[in-house]
Amino acid sequence: MNSKPLDPFWEIKHLNELTPQEWEALCDRCGLCCLNRIQDEEDDEIYLTRVACRCYDIQSGQCSDYPNRLAKVEGCTQLTIERTSEFTWLPETCAYRLRFENKPLPSWHPLISGTPLSVREHGIHKYDPVNESDDIDLEDYVIDEGVGDW
Ligand code: SF4
Ligand code: SF4
């Protein structure tokens, strides 16, 4: 049986009051921030692709080397309270962005549903992701709906 924690810290605390453990727990592991994006050279428009970072383990649905991710992958960004002004690049469903905008977490967030399985259809897997590799051209994997709607 799934159980909701008694203390919904994500509702009663501001982001800057979270402990490191609570900050980590806020991430729903959707993986959407691990998808590559490309910028059109002509109009600067940003497009989302379904090409995941080399380090993303599609099968297990998580970073394959989370502790070393920042050293291993150029461009991997650590989300911190000091960087909240940059959170607009995150998907609208990202828990950090939602709480920064004072919006509730969705019912499928593991902190609410009690299971990480509830994220599957709302995260990276809904785009049928592939891993980045030398023979992949990102332009061939642009997701039509664009980055504004993800
Ligand atoms: S988009 Fe947000 S909630 Fe999803 S994996 Fe990235 S940081 Fe975590
Ligand atoms: S290194 Fe890990 S957390 Fe960072 S973008 Fe790649 S898969 Fe995501």
Residue 1: inside a domain: no
Residue 60: inside a domain: yes
Collapsing DSSP to helix, strand or coil, 99 comes out as: helix
Q: At residue 50, what is the residue type?
A: R
Closest C-alpha to ligand 1, atom 4? 30
Collapsing DSSP to helix, strand or coil, 65 comes out as: coil
Ligand 2 close to Cβ of residue 124 (< 6 A): no
* pTM score of the predicted model: 0.89
Closest C-alpha to ligand 2, atom 7? 56
Residue 90: inside a domain: yes
Is residue 8 over pLDDT 90?
A: yes
Domain count, the chain: 1
What's the pLDDT tens digit per position in 9-53? Answer: 999 999 999 999 999 999 999 999 999 999 888 888 889 999 999
**Token pair recorded at residue 25:** 């727990």
**Token pair recorded at residue 34:** 């691990």
| Contact by Cβ (8 Å): 129, 58 | yes
Residue 2: inside a domain: no
Containing structural domain, residue 72: 9-149
Q: Which residues contact 56 (CB under 8 A, 6 or more apart)?
A: 31, 34, 62, 63, 64, 124, 129, 131
Residue 103: inside a domain: yes
Give the Cα separation of 101 and 92 in Å (integer): 10
What's the pLDDT tens digit per position in 76-135? Answer: 999 999 998 888 889 999 999 999 999 999 999 999 999 999 999 999 999 999 999 999
Residue 4: inside a domain: no
Ligand 2 close to Cβ of residue 111 (< 6 A): no
Place 2 in a pLDDT band, splitting at 50, 70 and 90. low
Cα atoms in the Cβ-side hemisphere of radius 13 Å centred on 36: 24
Ligand 1 center to 8 CA (angstroms): 19
Residue 73: inside a domain: yes
In this structure, which ligand is nearest to the CA of 100?
A: 1
CA 61 from chain centre, in angstroms, equals 11
Residue 96: inside a domain: yes
